[in-house]
Amino acid sequence: MFARSLGDDGAELRPLEPYHAEEYLAHMDRGREFIGRWILLPDLSTDLPSARAFLQSYADRAAADRGRLYGIWADGTLVGGVLFSSFDAAAGNCEVGCWLEETAVGRGLVTRAMRVILDWAVEERGIHRVEWRAAAGNTASSKLAERLGLVRDGVLRESYPLRGVRHDMEVWSVLAPEWRKLRAAGR
């Protein structure tokens, strides 16, 4: 087990695994409405068995090197996370995502966590293209992608069904040379 510091405020990034199911469910219950405004994540964990199954699905993806899931802990409490929803080292492509409880917004936790996983993907695993998808109305996610230096590739019109409503999906990306240049410039 490892924990990666996210700064001087004691926040940590750690793998989120099946044995965290109770803590993860409590986190989803606290943030269900806020987190669920733009993503289906809370809908996938409505009780302990479904939370455990969701976390196990990512443990299986990690074992197959096809995805990974990390939690963000602040003040000893799970408050959000980042993930590789897809990961294809052979092709050099991956897709990242994130979520956060409303009580943890504004502290830069997701920004710092995303930098950690983007650095790892590019520098350790040789990923060439990192993609980020966000519902067009999710301005916080779009602003975060922009702050990280990702480029908006385009919009997939009405491609994202969320609880009976179809949303446009923005596609953002950063290529390995661009990421290295951003990091060298201190971003």
Q: Report the chain (187 residues): mean pLDDT per 10 consecutive residues.
A: 82 96 97 93 95 97 96 95 97 97 94 96 97 94 94 95 93 97 85
The side-by-side arrangement of strands in the sheet containing 12-15 is 4-5, 12-15, 68-74, 77-88, 93-100, 129-135, 165-175, 151-162
pLDDT of residue 88: 97
pLDDT of residue 1: 54
- How many alpha carbons lie under 13 Å from residue 42 in its C-beta half-sphere? 20
Distance separating alpha carbons of residues 66 and 61, to the nearest angstrom: 5
The tens digit of pLDDT for each residue in 27-65 reads 999 999 999 999 999 999 999 999 999 999 999 999 999
pLDDT of residue 24: 97
CB 89 within 8 A of CB 65: yes
Exposed / middle / buried, residue 143 (Cβ in 10 Å: 0-12, 13-18, 19+): exposed
Q: Which fold has domain 4-184?
A: Aminopeptidase (3.40.630)
pLDDT of residue 26: 97
Distance separating alpha carbons of residues 91 and 157, to the nearest angstrom: 26
What residue spans define the domains of the chain? 4-184
- How many alpha carbons lie under 13 Å from residue 101 in its C-beta half-sphere? 18
